[in-house]
Amino acid sequence: MDTFAIMKFLKSIPVSIVQFTIVLSPLFAPFHSWAQNNNFDELLKTDMDLPISFDLRNTDRLGEIKSQPAGGCWASATMGTVESFWKTAGFSEVSLSDKNLKEFHGFVPERNSNGNHNMATAYFARRSGPLEAGTAADSISENNPVTLAYITDARYLPDDPGVVKKVIMHFGSVYSMMYHRKQNLDTISDIYYTKKEQINHAVALVGWNDTLRTRNGAGVWIAQNSLGLNYGDKGFFLIPYSDPNILKYNAVWPRWIPYDPKSQILYYDTLGSYQSYGFGDSVCYGLIKFTAGQNAVLSKVGTFVNHPETKITFTVFDDFDNNTKILSDLLFESKTFKCSLAGYYTFDLDEKIKISQSDDFFIMMKYSNFSDTIPMPVEKYIKGYSNPGITSGKCWTNPDFEKWPSTWYECGTNSTYQSLIFDLCIKAYMIEE
């Protein structure tokens, strides 16, 4: 009897016997302390043996099955992934509001039911959420809401089963996109398969089984859906490895810091980056001007990263002459950070910089990627997707600061170049004194 037939047989026998069979299956392996230490990027570089099967359902590291708001699968999968990461780290067990993300993502209204992980990251990066689920949180938009934590980073995982498995086992479930129609689900085996190469749905991957054989080959992903407990196996289903869409688009949000009323961020890119800019070279510089609202300490700098293997270096200056285009009064210079994955990154300053109320300061960020000629993330108008309020007099770009330190081109609505009508995706993290 093949595996597919066995699963049909198990469906037909008493529940107690099925449960007994599952208990005897070696689907659970203890997770490492990676999550508590939050060494996410280090984990991905570490070689390790993986079990042939693993299932987060056999742990206490998953949130409850969600019944998504209409068209809100992407928001439900996002919050389910965050809940799993938080539970794995022992940080929180609350249920997070997918409805708030779905309604207040900030992008054009037609994206309510056509969202993605980039939109979720923009929502987190500007601190619109996450919020604990409830009537108030589901229906109210706030600029700086009181929340359990600020999510500071996002990582977009590659189409690499080994990487995805490591993340699931040590950190929690993984947001992933697929093509889904209810009628394609085999309700006997809970296996979903389609040959259609298209994306229209998002789920959270919670485990795998390399040896389970289906009509479409060996190996399945275990997925947590957002269609309530009556879907599949109490809200879960199986996706064969041979599915043409799964693992094409994956995301997790692996870092966060506790809520602090004295913490704030300065930024102009409310919707983050979906496009990049460059001068046809592997290097591009961005410069951004911020003004402190009160006496504060600069503690972190953040930016989107659109291309894997991008290197980041940032420098903080006290002054920039808009006439001569010369930067002066160096306050801080970072080391070089290698960003192995696309996503959103924050970088701590080794030394805190005090900024007085109403003082201007300037952050220059160098983006370099030897395999990409447009390495700098930017926020701009995209028809049918984003319509941000672009600033003026706040951002500049330079093809190579080391060669041409005064060659800065103004970006934004007042730029003389149509191609430079965008905001830079650089954020400053401040702590009020």
Give the other-Cβ count within 10 Å of 55's Cβ. Answer: 20
Q: Are residues 117 and 30 in the same domain?
A: yes
- Please indicate, yes or no, if residue 328 is contained in any of the structural domains: yes
* Residue 53 structural domain: 3-252
Tell me, what's the pLDDT at 13? 34
User: In angstroms, how far apart are the furthest CA atoms of the chain?
Assistant: 80
Tell me, what's the pLDDT at 68? 92
Q: Are residues 145 and 199 in the same domain?
A: yes
Name residue, tokens 């987060």.
56
Single residue among 199, 226, 252 that ends a domain in this structure: 252
Tell me, what's the pLDDT at 64? 95
Q: Are residues 42 and 151 in the same domain?
A: yes
- At 280 the three-state DSSP class reads coil
- Full-model pTM: 0.90
Instruction: For Cα atoms 339, 155, 254, give the angle at the middle one, nearest 5 degrees.
Output: 115
Single residue among 234, 252, 270 that ends a domain in this structure: 252
Q: Are residues 225 and 266 in the same domain?
A: no
Q: Are residues 23 and 158 in the same domain?
A: yes
pLDDT (tens, 9 = 90+) of the chain, 433 residues, equals 444 443 443 343 333 222 322 222 333 334 445 555 568 998 888 888 999 999 999 999 999 999 999 899 999 999 999 999 999 999 999 999 999 999 999 999 989 889 999 999 999 999 999 999 987 777 766 666 788 899 999 999 999 999 999 999 999 999 999 999 988 999 999 999 999 999 999 999 999 999 999 999 999 999 999 999 999 999 999 999 999 999 999 999 999 999 999 999 999 999 999 999 999 999 999 999 999 999 999 999 999 999 999 999 999 999 999 999 999 999 999 999 999 999 999 999 999 899 999 999 999 999 999 999 999 999 999 999 999 999 999 999 999 999 999 999 999 999 999 999 999 999 999 999 8
Tell me, what's the pLDDT at 134? 84
Tell me, what's the pLDDT at 119? 97
Q: Are residues 83 and 227 in the same domain?
A: yes
Q: Helix H segments across 89-189?
A: 98-103, 117-125, 135-139, 161-170
Among residues 203, 263, 266, 270, the alpha carbon closest in space to that of 239 is found at 203
Q: Are residues 313 and 221 in the same domain?
A: no
If you ran DSSP here, which 8-state letter would residue 200 be given? -
Q: Are residues 178 and 54 in the same domain?
A: yes
Q: Are residues 158 and 226 in the same domain?
A: yes
Task: Please tell me the chain's helix, strand, coil percentages from 3-state DSSP, rounded to the nearest 5.
Answer: 20, 35, 45
Q: Are residues 300 and 213 in the same domain?
A: no
**Alpha carbon distance 263, 259 (integer Å):** 8
Q: Are residues 150 and 291 in the same domain?
A: no
- Please indicate, yes or no, if residue 52 is contained in any of the structural domains: yes
- Please indicate, yes or no, if residue 257 is contained in any of the structural domains: no
- Please indicate, yes or no, if residue 391 is contained in any of the structural domains: yes
Single residue among 220, 252, 284 that ends a domain in this structure: 252
Give me the phi and psi of 164, to 5 degrees please. Answer: -60, -40
Q: Helix H segments across 153-199?
A: 161-170
Number of domains present in the structure of the chain: 2
**For position 339, which CATH number holds?**
2.60.120.820
pLDDT digits 0-9 by tens, 308-354: 999 999 999 999 999 999 999 999 999 999 999 999 999 999 998 99
**For position 86, which CATH number holds?**
3.90.70.10
Q: Are residues 287 and 149 in the same domain?
A: no
Q: Distances from the Cα of 290 to the Cαs of 351, 360, 401, in angstroms?
A: 19, 6, 20
Q: Beta partners for 431?
A: 263, 297
Encoded tokens for 276: 């990049």
